[in-house]
Amino acid sequence: MSRVPRRIRERLSGSERRVRLIQAAIEVFSQRGYEGASVEEIAEAASVTKPVLYDHFSSKENLFVAAIEQIRDGLLYRGNTAVEKEKTPSKKLKAAILVFFDLAEEDPCAARVLLISSKAPAPIADTCRRIQAAATSGLAQIMRSHSPSSAADWGHQWLLKAEFIKKGMHGLTEWWLEHPKVPRLEIEKALFGILNKGVGLR
């Protein structure tokens, strides 16, 4: 008489299950977008039931924000580490941009989720704008560091330049994810060619 194999359930801690849910959410959001993703699909991808998902996250919005923040925190850590090694504003900025391209190359799902947040889907627009504003401010601070410009110039000019660079970086990354056969060097060359001539970095 044959025995029916029993399904073996993994015993995970609460924190381990939360990490698994966020990773599953990143994969589903990257494929479906925010509006197209469902809680049921994310739960299935994480191999948990829908009630278990709600034990950790109260809503799809809450889960999306957790996913963005996890990606952002990892990106900021890597970015700060890379930037601290450089001395000049132009090299600091280049290092920060290269870290973003590293993310797109190594974890395209995570990059796609960040790009979704840059378009601020209506249900989570305020949260997305806050995260994107922080990213713009961070770039502006890198660009301004050791700049010969006066403190009074800190206002709109540096923020506008940073926003221009961020949007260009996002646009190129989105295009690159859709055309993965294009060498990364070509993407970098296009962006840095514009920056070296157009934003006054030396």
CATH of residue 94's domain is: 1.10.357.10
pLDDT reported for residue 87: 85
Q: Is residue 121 part of a domain?
A: yes
| Closest-CA residue to 64 (of 15, 113, 20) | 113
Q: What is the mean pLDDT of the chain?
A: 84
**pLDDT score at 3:** 42
Contact partners, residue 63, CB within 8 Å, separation at least 6: 21, 22, 25, 39, 42, 53, 57
Could you report the per-residue pLDDT of 126-159, keeping only the tens digit for each?
888 888 888 888 888 877 764 555 455 556 788 8
Number of domains in the chain: 1
Provide mean pLDDT across the span 106-117.
Answer: 93
Structure tokens at 117: 């947040």
Predicted local confidence at residue 145, as pLDDT:
67
Structural domain includes residue 77: yes
Q: Which domain holds residue 151?
A: 67-198
Q: Which residues contact 138 (CB under 8 A, 6 or more apart)?
A: 76, 79, 96
Mean pLDDT of all residues in 145-174 = 76
- pTM for the whole thing? 0.80
Q: Which amino acid is at 187?
A: I
- Rounded mean pLDDT of 47-67? 94
Residue at 91 is within a domain: yes
pLDDT score at 7? 34
- Measured between alpha carbons, how far is 53 from 39 in angstroms, rounded to an integer? 8
- pLDDT band at 1; cut points 50, 70, 90: very low
Q: Is 48 within the bounds of a domain? A: no
Residue 121 neighbours by CB under 8 Å, 6+ apart: 33, 34, 35, 128
Structure tokens at 121: 């889907």
Q: Is residue 33 part of a domain?
A: no
Per residue in 6-42, pLDDT tens? Answer: 333 467 677 889 999 999 999 999 999 999 999 999 9
Whether 16 is in a domain gets the answer no
